[in-house]
Amino acid sequence: MNPEEVAPEKESSAATRHWLRWIGKALLAIVILIGAYYALYFLLRGPTPSERVVIAHRGGADLAPENTMTAFQNAIDVGAGWIEFDVHRTSDGELVIMHDDTVDRTTNGSGMIKEMSAAEFAALQMADSKEPPTLEAVTALAKASDIGMLAEVKSPDLYPGMEMEILQEIEDAGYVTKTVALSFGLDALENMKKANPSLRVCPLYKYPIGVGNPQPANAEIICPMGESAILYPWLIKKAHAQGRQVWVWPWKLDNPLGHRILLALGVDGIIVNDPVEAQRLVNR
């Protein structure tokens, strides 16, 4: 090999080693900073809640078909403290339970819920071979078993005024004290809270922005995404300093490891698809 060809190769190899060392140091510095960030949080976090709430997301969607009477009954049977569900409204004013704005994913039918009559909605069949439930039916079941309800006001922009109808139905059932209203629609929660200050409300947030000063300002609970709470756990400390609880929905972290991390950070409640596993962790 020509000596003139060897020198550039050595220079290239030295440059590569230099950059690799620089990248290694940068990664080490990032790890140290992240460790210091969380160490400082745990140092200043304060005491963790003495009681934790486990909420069966859509009735516990890992254990039974979501948002069905079967799921809600199963959540009661396995000892969940709360059930979470999503409320929509049919074209003729029936308040019904389903997650999506359409029935396509979870029933044998198709179409927008807001364009269906109550009779058309009731004619559908869900994965448990039963018709999709109404708010009235779920409230009656919850009341008979004394289980808490986390009722999400779903897509309030599609159903103007629906939040007040939900409130009225819960009031008529005498179940306000065992219900928490949940929504991304902060105006809807504001309307409900003004109409009945006894109703607890829980604004939903995907990102930490706004969580520190939630609306309504007198919201007793905030519900950030679990990933946001992990990335910015200080929102938990701030909420507790304000006298609020933090119930998180883990999204992609809805698994034992995610639950352990969130509980260690000090959340007051977790909205999960498997309430049995989550309750086991809480009881440890």
Mean pLDDT of 124-143: 97
> Over 80: is that where the pLDDT of 8 sits?
no
Same domain, 81 and 22: no
Which domain range does residue 16 map to? Answer: 1-44
Same domain, 175 and 240: yes
Contact between 181 and 153 (Cβ < 8 Å): yes
Look at the chain and count its residues. Answer: 284
Mean pLDDT of 194-212: 89
> Over 60: is that where the pLDDT of 269 sits?
yes
pLDDT at residue 10 in the model: 60
Mean pLDDT of 207-224: 85
What is the Cα–Cα distance from 10 to 18, expressed in whole angstroms? 12
Same domain, 3 and 67: no
> Over 60: is that where the pLDDT of 82 sits?
yes
What is the Cα–Cα distance from 25 to 21, expressed in whole angstroms? 6
* The pairing of beta strand 269-272 with beta strand 179-183: unpaired
What is the band of 19 on the pLDDT scale with cuts at 50, 70, 90? confident
Take residue 272 and report the two structure tokens written for it.
């999960």
List pLDDT tens digits, range 232-264.
Answer: 999 999 999 999 999 999 888 999 999 999 999
Same domain, 185 and 149: yes
Residue 176 sits in a domain of what CATH number? 3.20.20.190
Number of other residues whose CB lies within 10 A of the CB of residue 37: 12
pLDDT at residue 12 in the model: 66
Same domain, 35 and 61: no
Same domain, 17 and 128: no
List pLDDT tens digits, range 21-44.
Answer: 888 888 888 989 999 999 999 999
What is the Cα–Cα distance from 53 to 154, expressed in whole angstroms? 22
Rounded alpha-carbon distances, angstroms, from residue 31 to 22, 28, 34, 260: 14, 5, 5, 21
Same domain, 1 and 75: no
Quick one: CA torsion of 225, 211, 67, 63, rounded to 10 degrees?
40
Same domain, 99 and 210: yes
Same domain, 23 and 129: no
Mean pLDDT of 130-137: 98
Centroid of chain to Cα 36:
28
pLDDT at residue 17 in the model: 75
Residue that terminates a domain, selected from 11, 26, 44:
44
Same domain, 40 and 131: no
At residue 193's C-alpha, the angle toward residues 171 and 149, to 5°, is 50
Backbone angles phi, psi at 45, to 5 degrees: -60, -40
> Over 70: is that where the pLDDT of 201 sits?
yes
Which range, of 72-86, 206-220, 229-243, averages the lowest pLDDT? 206-220
List pLDDT tens digits, range 162-174.
Answer: 999 999 999 999 9
Centroid of chain to Cα 266:
16
In the chain, how many domains are there? Answer: 2
